[in-house]
């Protein structure tokens, strides 16, 4: 019985760790895309209208 509880708590901790890891990866991805877009569209010379 004790072994099953230990496995359960370990699984929960691992699940939280994976969730946080995915959040960090997603955040880095979004920031990277935002920086790339800013770099690409922010360097255009002003149009002579």
Stated length of the chain? 49
pLDDT tens track for 12-41: 888 888 899 999 999 999 999 999 999 998
Angle among Cα 19, 20, 22 to the nearest 5 degrees reads: 65
Enumerate the domain spans of the chain: 1-41
Secondary structure of residue 23 in the 3-state scheme? helix
Check residue 42 and give its pLDDT. 86
pTM for the model = 0.57
Check residue 14 and give its pLDDT. 82
Residue 48 or 35, more confident = 35
Check residue 25 and give its pLDDT. 98
């Amino acid at each position: 019985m004790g072994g099953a509880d230990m496995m359960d708590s370990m699984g929960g901790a691992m699940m939280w760790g994976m969730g946080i890891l995915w959040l960090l990866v997603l955040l880095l991805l979004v920031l990277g895309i935002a920086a790339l877009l800013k770099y690409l569209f922010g360097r255009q010379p002003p149009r002579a209208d």
